[in-house]
Structure 1
């Protein structure tokens, strides 16, 4: 048995899909002490937050059912990574020593300060706390009160569909095409479903101001809105930049193709906050698991003194729910471009539900029981080879859902 004094201390920052899976997978070695830092005591299924807000499902899971034996959960938030002393500073004032850090802090989706009134009057659904505020606001509203969902991506579509199926009067404001990452036929299917169920879809349209009881559109139009839900665009926490590490324009940690920081080979990124070669994969639960697994494998390789493998992930499409009785599974090529083929209706809803359960049961929990067991589709296009810090420093990239 390995002596405790020879343990390699790995601190995983963020207990979402990528971080939780990475923490479990690190246990392929018995000489690694894993600490998972997360601001909440429960795991949040972000892909179910629209259900939580609409009271059609739950979105939290007890970490005791997800984390493998020996992983320490610290309920706190990281405020700085000090590479010189190899410590992570926490909001509580505590400091954690590390040999390696896995940076899996995820993404955020707060309303933008650039839109007047958005911060004061709009509600996000990107995180558990904001989804809980949205749920409380909905509970306080009459059923026929007008609700505006801003954003025509998958999060906006799922939110609008969930609410209209509950009897809400919903307007969906799309800046560009509805579900822009889907095929033309897939977009038509979604548009038809929304129209038949009473969602008023405005496109192309943009919100220039959010008021307490209305939204102002870029063309000057004013529409009543007792509640405005903001789903347009995602950001990331500023922890990397605050720690003096290089990031892309959005704030994602710049890494090479092994997910290792271009500034420090003891910091490895995973999930939405990673920008390998400055060309990040799209933000999604789909990519989070493989990125978490690859980050853990990179740390294990560095401990073993072997060369880490590069990230290799092929996308196969995306799922979106349309309320509880319909959905759509859009198929895609390995490079994440949609093909003109989808599965809709009840079968689409069933596939989406199986996908949501698969992420937790077959990925995270299986890694807890059998570390190193997860595999994923490979063959997606990435930049050739591993890039250097100089090659990576000036690049940036762009975003959807599993």
Structure 2
């Protein structure tokens, strides 16, 4: 392509920032990042923001390459034919290529009363509102956390640390991703913090009121503050723009992360569904998918064929308050094994990983293309060759 190339990235999360930074490898590429907030949200720390034990934002000037133009606005619609993005403010941006990295948020709860009386924690604004609610609640007020994935576990542990009375309602098993050995370690730590963990079929929320949570087995739990972490969804921008999506709203792509409808649109992060087999919604996947989406664009600009996506998982890390955590090891196919590191060592590793994420963003901003992942997933390739495309189970908010 002769002349300058305009690439628009929609979404300034982990995948979007990594993609935008990688795209600056070429001097003839102009990169514009659209994001509704002026600051980067470090989502894996939102539970700390809620508890008042840490921050969850960073300055974009610290994590974005200087050549990336930040537009603080919301993408309202994509026009693939016209290659434009309409903004909520009324303006439009043209593009030669588009990186779709809109991320994920809380799925709208279908349980009666949950939308009115429960507090999600998937976005910065939701976490800030919940923090204000908790500050206004008495220290002895009962808090119920709904959802047994990483976000639910971390939030329950963080809130229980200062002595709050916290109940974690799992709606199934605690930490579905975890190996049974790791799950037992998490349960022991939560018990030590005073968290009441309710598991099993009966521990499914059937309704939420202003001051109580009702379960499927008939129990009613007093709850002055109810936190909802069960389930994640993606924005409907792609569907509203006439692009093909899966049943969760993720953009349908091939293995190079290219939209099945338009070769000028690539996807990354939680909002991508390559070959109908989306990766687990997680920072771990987003940090790998972002650069690879950018590489698909860069290869096309260089007249080369894009490479199939390669994402390797190493496990899941979950903090358990400020003094402990767990790193659950897994194969690159994202299946947990018997190995885990728990206790204080697990907490130190989790904190090191969280700090490392921002360091990777900064490093890619200053040295685009220097970070490389050499991973492979033979099981994924075998499944694709066999035509087996079921989406893997996800619990949302994975690390």
TM-score normalized by the length of structure 1? 0.95
**Cα separation, 2, equivalents of 1:132 and 1:181:** 28
**Cα separation, 2, equivalents of 1:54 and 1:74:** 31
More off after superposition, 374-383 vs 72-81: 374-383
**Match of 1:216, SS?**
strand
**Match of 2:8, SS?**
strand
For structure 2, which runs of at least 5 residues remain unmatched after alignment?
A: none
Aligned-residue offset at 1:384: 5.3
Aligned-residue offset at 1:383: 3.7
> Superposition pairs for residues 273-352 of structure 1, below 5 Å?
273-352=271-350
Q: Is the Cα–Cα contact under 8 Å of residues 77 and 91 in structure 1 kept in the other structure?
A: yes
2:124 match: 128
**Cα separation, 2, equivalents of 1:264 and 1:40:** 28
After superposition, the C-alpha distances for 1:76-133 in whole angstroms (9 at most, x for unaligned) are 0001110111000110001000000000000011441x21101100001111010001
**Cα separation, 2, equivalents of 1:64 and 1:122:** 35
Matched, 1:180 2:141: no
**Match of 1:6, SS?**
coil
Matched, 1:223 2:213: no
**Match of 2:37, SS?**
coil
1:115 match: 111
Counterpart pick for 2:148 among 144, 147, 152: 152
For structure 1, which runs of at least 5 residues remain unmatched after alignment?
A: none
Matched, 1:68 2:57: no
1:170 match: 166
Q: Is the Cα–Cα contact under 8 Å of residues 312 and 382 in structure 1 kept in the other structure?
A: no
1:49 match: 46
RMSD: 1.7
Aligned-residue offset at 1:342: 0.7
1:193 match: 189
Aligned-residue offset at 1:176: 1.5
1:83 match: 80
**Cα separation, 2, equivalents of 1:94 and 1:398:** 39
**Cα separation, 2, equivalents of 1:129 and 1:111:** 16
2:20 match: 23
Counterpart pick for 2:55 among 53, 58, 70: 58
Matched, 1:353 2:345: no
After superposition, the C-alpha distances for 1:337-381 in whole angstroms (9 at most, x for unaligned) are 1111111111101100110011110x2111111000112251123
Aligned-residue offset at 1:262: 0.3
Aligned-residue offset at 1:158: 0.2
Matched, 1:364 2:358: no
Q: Structure 1 residues 395 and 342, CA, compared in 2 at 3 Å: closer, same or farther?
A: closer
**Cα separation, 2, equivalents of 1:177 and 1:33:** 48
Aligned-residue offset at 1:304: 1.3
**Cα separation, 1, equivalents of 2:316 and 2:390:** 26
Q: Structure 1 residues 25 and 259, CA, compared in 2 at 3 Å: closer, same or farther?
A: same
Superposition misfits of 4+ residues, deviation over 3 angstroms: 383-387, 394-398
TM-score normalized by the length of structure 2? 0.96
**Cα separation, 1, equivalents of 2:355 and 2:144:** 29
